[in-house]
Amino acid sequence: MKTLDELNEDLLRAYSENDAATIIALYTEAGKRAFEAKDIDAGCFYTVQAYVFALQEGHADTKTLHAKLVEHGREA
């Protein structure tokens, strides 16, 4: 499992390559880890980032990401 620093490096690379699918996957992974660590605010932050990119890209995970935000009272 990658460290958060490694995930951050991967995110920076994905941004520089304009690779939206990888950005979505990395933010989703960071959110998942934060939720597992019971850091709901951080989990929601990362999930919002993934969700915004997913909306822009018409990504298949858009509904799942939205549901996670609804679950935590961050979206209606």
CB 28 within 8 A of CB 61: yes
Question: Which region among 2-6, 61-65, 69-73 has the lowest average model confidence (pLDDT)?
Answer: 2-6
pLDDT in tens, 7-61: 999 999 999 999 999 999 999 999 999 999 999 999 999 999 999 999 999 999 9
pTM, entire model = 0.93
| Confidence class for position 73, pLDDT limits 50, 70, 90 | very high
